[in-house]
A and B are shown apart, each in its own frame.
Chain A
Amino acid sequence: MIDEFKTFLFKIDHDFKIVFASESLSNFLGMSDLDIIGKSCYSLLNQYSSPCKFCPIVGKNFGLKYYYELISDSGNYGYFISNITKAEDRYLISMLDMTEMRAYHRSNKHQIKEQRAEISRLRNELHAHKRKLAFFERSLDHSQAGAMFIDRDYNIVYMNLKLREVILYGRDVTNSKCYAVYGYDSPCFFCPWTNIGKERQAKIIGDTSFVIEFARMDYYILEVLRDVTKDLSYVKSIRENQLRLIKKQRQMEILNIDLIDTNDKLKIIQSAMDDELKRVGYIQSSLLPKNTPEIDGYDFGVVFISTKYASGDYYDFIYASEGNLGIVLADVSGHGTPAAVIMAMTRAIMRSYTLGVTSSSDVLSMVNEVLCDNIYTKDFVTMFYLVLDIEKNSINYSSAGHHPVLFYDASEFMVKKLNVNGLLLGIFKDQEYEEKVLTLDTGDILFLYTDGLVEVIDKDNKQYGYDRLLSKIIMYSSLRPQAMIDEIMQDVKDFTNLESYRDDITIVAIKKG
């Protein structure tokens, strides 16, 4: 039975002489038992003359296994693993044929080498992939957008830093499904696995608005979450600004309509007022003398220019008595209807109180009393009043706050101011007025004017002025008073070069012939 195995068995004595050999050994060697028994093992098997160097019997290290090759004289080859066991004074040597096993082992070894090479190559490849992956992950971690990879089973395969630590701050979605990120319990309605071609979705997480962009691959979806809160807030603020603008615009339109409306109404009121002023102006004009007096030895000139239909200027020639002509020039402060009313009142007072009174100061005192009782506005009246004694060729004159009347003294070729002081009319009662007397000679001129004349301005806001007026009076002193006034007014017109005057202008000039 032993022989059927490819295993040899033989026994040797302490002298290395073979005392038994299995048939398989004699077959392998091509010898009969007779040739084998009694021979020493080292000479028969290895053709040595002394025991083998590695022999366990010599080294007394039993139990070790030895591999070795045998080639018989008959040409048989074998590769064996041997084992020696000691039994009393004999040694049993078993040799297991490993030839086929070795051939197989050898070929296996080659394969293993190849496999190892393959494994190493794969390992390198894996490392390269891992490095690449790590790089991608690091890159994704640096991204300002959140990013994650989702597999077919909705598992989060990878999530970048931004998504993990910023967007989902404080929320643990480890081992969660991807839809948990968006706050769902089951796959999102917009899931690209079920919505083929889905590329983009808007979603609010917490207070933050995101646009999710999907890149669907065979086994994974890359989802990139971009924070668009700021962009949306810009859009929102732009929209709000626009709304505000539109609202403002509407308000402006309404206001504009209002303004146009108001303006139209104002125009109507203005035109009504203009009409009224015109009417007042007509009445007022009718209150002024139609003609200048005709007195032998005296020549008169007058100009009356009203700026706003109704004026505050007033002049008059009133006979106080036979041979005494009262000449009045007054200026009501203010303009328009109130001024015109006060002017009309002043005229009425003058006309009723001057009769029989030849003292100019007495007249002013009386007029002041009446005006103080009748002016309810803050207006006052300036008045220059003189009484011309036609026989004596003299005047007495007084002033109630009116600027001095100019007197051209023909004998001296110069203009003098008739300085005389007195309070404005209509402010305080119980006023006394200064009165002076002046004798008139041939060529002398009395020049009465309201301050509108010297206050005429040109386009540079420069006043016509008192000095220019003086020089003109002297220049035109040889003319008749009306001609002199016309020349002066022409000069004023040339000076101002403007279309209208700011204030009323009245001039009364009296020349002694």
Chain B
Amino acid sequence: MEMNIKESSKGFIIYPTGDIDIKSSPMLKSKVLELANRGSVVLSLKHVHYINSSGLREIVDLFKILKESDKELRLCEMSIDMKELFSFTGLSKVFKIFDTEKDALGS
């Protein structure tokens, strides 16, 4: 998995590319936690094809860790399949999910 990061005045946007799974998630996790200490973090999933249950496990864990220090992880640019995944897992009610980067950074 590759990972690009864009910094804006309103926070950081991380663009993971490829699949989020057990191999790629530790890198993503440490990056998110590092940036979360410096500002708000948005995870753009527009280049992510697929998240399996182990990838989901890591994202949920990330959410839990951030929540302990009153931080949040915003998600945006999800595919229809991914929206469905977040919907039936109930995670769409846990995470703040936005359609666009702009919306995610703006709120």
Contact = CB atoms under 8 A, between A and B. Distances in A.
A402 B88 contact: yes
A399 interface: yes
A333 B57 contact: yes
Interface stretch (B2-10, B34-42, B90-98): B90-98
B100 interface: no
A312 to B, nearest CB: 9
Contacts of A455: 52
A421 B57 CA distance: 18
Q: Which 7 A-B pairs have the closest CB atoms?
A: A423-B90, A401-B89, A378-B61, A333-B57, A333-B53, A422-B90, A421-B88
Contacts of B56: 333, 424
A285 to B, nearest CB: 21
Contact of B88 (A333, A380, A401): A401
A75 to B, nearest CB: 139
B64 interface: yes
A451 interface: yes
B60 A378 contact: yes
B88 A419 contact: yes
Interface of B: 52-54, 56-58, 60-61, 64, 85, 87-91, 93-94
A263 B50 CA distance: 35
A421 B86 CA distance: 9
A379 B58 CA distance: 9
Given A400-B90, A402-B88, A424-B89, A451 B52 contact: yes
Interface residues of A, number: 24
Interface in A69-85: none
Contacts of A378: 57-58, 60-61, 64
A155 interface: no
Contact of B91 (A333, A403, A423, A451): A423
A382 B60 contact: no
A227 interface: no
Given A400-B90, A402-B88, 19 more contacts: A333-B53, A333-B54, A378-B57, A378-B61, A378-B64, A380-B57, A382-B89, A399-B88, A401-B91, A403-B85, A419-B88, A421-B90, A422-B88, A423-B89, A423-B90, A424-B60, A428-B94, A451-B52, A455-B52
Contacts of B52: 451, 455
A423 B94 contact: yes
A23 interface: no
21 contacts: A333-B56, A334-B57, A378-B57, A378-B61, A380-B60, A399-B88, A401-B90, A401-B91, A420-B88, A421-B88, A422-B88, A423-B90, A423-B91, A423-B94, A424-B56, A424-B60, A424-B90, A427-B60, A427-B94, A428-B94, A455-B52
Contacts of B57: 333-334, 378-380
A244 B38 CA distance: 47
Say what secondary structure dominates the interface of chain B: helix
A424 B95 CA distance: 13
Contacts of B61: 378
B88 A404 contact: yes
A372 to B, nearest CB: 12
Contacts of B85: 403
Contacts of B94: 423, 427-428
A97 interface: no
Nearest to A401: B89
Contacts of A420: 88
A401 B85 CA distance: 8
A419 B61 CA distance: 25
B87 A421 contact: yes
Contacts of A334: 54, 57
Nearest to A450: B53
A331 B53 CA distance: 9
A179 to B, nearest CB: 74
A426 to B, nearest CB: 10
A331 B60 CA distance: 16
Nearest to B67: A428
B53 A451 contact: yes
A424 B54 contact: no
A394 interface: no
A423 B88 CA distance: 8
B45 to A, nearest CB: 18
B62 to A, nearest CB: 9
B24 to A, nearest CB: 15
A104 to B, nearest CB: 120
